Chains A and B, each alone.
Chain A
Amino acid sequence: MIIEHIDTQLPGTVTDRHAFRGDQTIVVAKDSFLPLVDLLYREGFQLLVDITAVDWPEREQRFDVVYHWLNLASQERLRVKVPVADGEAMLSLTGRFKTADWFEREVFDMFGVRFEGHPNLKRLLTWDDFPGHPLRKDFPLDGGDAFCMEGCTAPYNNGERG
């Protein structure tokens, strides 16, 4: 399948891989990302389903920018994760996939990850001078709102996890 193909054509690109509940995931470094995208496009992965990110604040490369692709011909899905550090800019896919435009703007808005080469990297869901990036783990749920319950950031279990 596609991961074997990637290993043959671009050896060393995949730094980590796992399959869980039928999903296949690969982790690649930022430098090898664009050649991988070109390969995927040629192999029929032409529907870029989603771009999002996950925040792992304990890690040095804090954010995992996650891409999901779908191959319409073979109905195969692939998840690609690219770790980036805080303050590091990721590469934009707007040249190749028009759908990347707003998805990348949302990742920028929610996490603060910048995308090099994006034509219009403005906030999408919050307003222009919103202070902070909401989906980061150190951003409180109520955003420091004046009228939320005093000191309570997670209304249903008092901020405790697990």
Chain B
Amino acid sequence: MILDSIALSRQQLDGDKMIVNMGPSHPTTHGTLRIVLELEGETITKSTPEMGYLHRGVEKLGESLSYQQFIPLTDRLNYCSSIMNNVGYTTAVEKLLGIEIPKRAQQIRVLMSELARLADHAVCVGVNAVDIGAFTAFLYIWKQRETVYDLFEMATGQRLHTSFTRIGGLFRDLPEGFVPALEQFLPECEAAINELEKLLTHNPIWYDRTKGIGAISAEDAVNWGYTGPCLRAAGVPQDLRKAQPYLGYETYEFDVPVGTTGDVYDRYLVRVEEMRQSLRIIRQVLDRLEPGPVCVDDPKITLPSKEKVYTRMESLIHHFKLVMHGMEMPVGEVYSATEAANGELGFYLVSDGGKNPYRIRVRPPCLPIFSSFHDQVKGFMIADAVAVLGAMNVIAGELDR
């Protein structure tokens, strides 16, 4: 009798769905976003993601800053791997100017980018693990990120927001102790990644929580505008470092991991393997790092060195012009994309010849990925929503700008 009445009442309540609001202040540490879930029991029937809670007006602010002054703003886009944003932006401005930076500057940019990629994937995998419940993995991999912070601080002076690149090259050359410290770091990091894999990859709980969750086909992924590890996990071997090489990436040997189903497990595997490939690239850069200038030798683009500014008249005037009046830019527009940790980070610059850009557009790699969230979690349970969100690596700074 009682069972019948329960069954009956469930039928009667069939039209009632529960609405759960996740965010914008929420425990998962993926930045501030909001998802409104409609649940039937534990199953998600509909979800509406909402963003914009970290919209700081960077694109508008860029229109009133000079090209050099925009560099610190790019740091704060994908704040887990700041250097890659710096590299992406300065590559775009260098494309607009039509200049090529010296060999050593290119090599160091590659080196720092791969370190940043490693750090970003460490955060993504670590935080994904924490959200699902595996706290130890996070602590193990976070220690490596702390060492990367030490390296960044040594080279650039800042742990997180490095602002390391300048238009025409780099802020400064690598200091003395950097290369030995990096060489010590590489085997430690390799060991840490192996430990991480031991904890997670063949762990039956991890496998159950992530296999088959949030799978997406290759055609769908392309239609949704995916780029980066999520696209590669879905089976499309698109990596700008191989497909449209920049900064000399065509001279380095590395593999691009490609998944099959695009689910959370595949995304995790792609990221871990990319961490290993980053270490491989760093070793190659260290082998062939050659001495040389780190900035283009053009006083209209690069600030002259302090000794020259204090002793020579033309250098003083060049310094003054660069700082007060900005650079002389050609009229035109460029779109330049680099392979950031999350995917294709694009900068679309429109210049009308003035000191400030007429329009700066940042193409965020995680915006199309996050916009597909409702497709990814439909029919799954509420706990899976957290796993999928973690694997997408939504960084609000980049998403909302």
Given A21-B98, A126-B52, A155-B64: A99 in contact with B225 (beta carbons within 8 A): yes
| Residues 94-129 of A contacting B (Cβ, < 8 Å) | 97-99, 101-103, 110, 123-127
| Residues 55-104 of B contacting A (Cβ, < 8 Å) | 55, 57, 59-61, 63-66, 69, 95-96, 98
A97 contacts B51, C-beta separation under 8 Å = no
Given A23-B334, A125-B52: A98 in contact with B363 (beta carbons within 8 A): no
B400 contacts A75, C-beta separation under 8 Å = no
Q: Which residue of A lies closest to B356 (CB)?
A: A161
A141 contacts B51, C-beta separation under 8 Å = no
Q: In the complex, A40 Cα to B304 Cα: how many Å?
A: 47
Q: Pick the contact of B64 from A75, A110, A154 — CB < 8 Å?
A: A154
Give the residues in chain B near A97, CB-CB below 8 Å: 223, 225
A50 contacts B57, C-beta separation under 8 Å = no
| Residues 143-190 of B contacting A (Cβ, < 8 Å) | none
Q: In the complex, A46 Cα to B219 Cα: how many Å?
A: 9
Q: In the complex, A126 Cα to B335 Cα: how many Å?
A: 25
Given A47-B222, A72-B236, A97-B223: A102 in contact with B371 (beta carbons within 8 A): yes
Write 30 A-B pairs (CB below 8 A) sorted by A numbering. Answer: A22-B95, A23-B335, A47-B222, A48-B225, A49-B227, A52-B348, A52-B361, A54-B350, A54-B358, A68-B348, A68-B363, A72-B236, A79-B333, A79-B335, A98-B224, A98-B372, A99-B223, A99-B371, A102-B368, A103-B225, A125-B52, A125-B400, A126-B52, A135-B59, A141-B60, A141-B63, A154-B64, A156-B64, A161-B354, A161-B355
A162 contacts B238, C-beta separation under 8 Å = no
The distance from the CB of A37 to the nearest CB of chain B, in whole angstroms, is: 13
Whether A151 sits at the interface, judged by CB under 8 Å, is no
Q: Pick the contact of A49 from B244, B363, B400 — CB < 8 Å?
A: B363
Whether A159 sits at the interface, judged by CB under 8 Å, is yes
Q: In the complex, A72 Cα to B240 Cα: how many Å?
A: 11
Interface of A is mostly: loop
Q: In the complex, A30 Cα to B141 Cα: how many Å?
A: 51
B335 contacts A77, C-beta separation under 8 Å = yes
Q: Add 16 more A-B contacts to A72-B236, A125-B55 (CB < 8 A).
A: A49-B225, A49-B227, A50-B348, A54-B358, A55-B359, A77-B335, A98-B220, A99-B224, A135-B59, A141-B63, A154-B64, A156-B65, A157-B66, A161-B64, A161-B355, A162-B356
A interface list, Cβ under 8 A from B: 20-23, 25, 46-50, 52, 54-55, 66, 68, 72, 75, 77, 79, 97-99, 101-103, 110, 123-127, 134-135, 139, 141, 153-157, 159, 161-162
Q: Which residue of A lies closest to B368 (CB)?
A: A99
Q: In the complex, A159 Cα to B355 Cα: how many Å?
A: 12
Chain B's interface size range is 35 or more
Q: In the complex, A79 Cα to B375 Cα: how many Å?
A: 28
The distance from the CB of A125 to the nearest CB of chain B, in whole angstroms, is: 4
The distance from the CB of B286 to the nearest CB of chain A, in whole angstroms, is: 29
Q: In the complex, A40 Cα to B75 Cα: how many Å?
A: 35
Given A49-B363, A50-B346: A101 in contact with B371 (beta carbons within 8 A): yes
Whether B212 sits at the interface, judged by CB under 8 Å, is no
Give the residues in chain B near A48, CB-CB below 8 Å: 225
Q: Pick the contact of B332 from A21, A110, A126, A161 — CB < 8 Å?
A: A21
| Residues 348-371 of B contacting A (Cβ, < 8 Å) | 348, 350, 353-356, 358-359, 361, 363, 367-368, 371
The distance from the CB of B333 to the nearest CB of chain A, in whole angstroms, is: 7
Q: In the complex, A90 Cα to B361 Cα: how many Å?
A: 20
Q: In the complex, A123 Cα to B60 Cα: how many Å?
A: 17
Q: Which residue of A lies closest to B401 (CB)?
A: A125
Q: In the complex, A20 Cα to B225 Cα: how many Å?
A: 25
Q: In the complex, A83 Cα to B45 Cα: how many Å?
A: 40
Q: Which residue of B lies closest to A123 (CB)?
A: B52
Give the residues in chain A near B59, CB-CB below 8 Å: 110, 135
B333 contacts A141, C-beta separation under 8 Å = no
A68 contacts B224, C-beta separation under 8 Å = no
Q: In the complex, A50 Cα to B69 Cα: how many Å?
A: 25
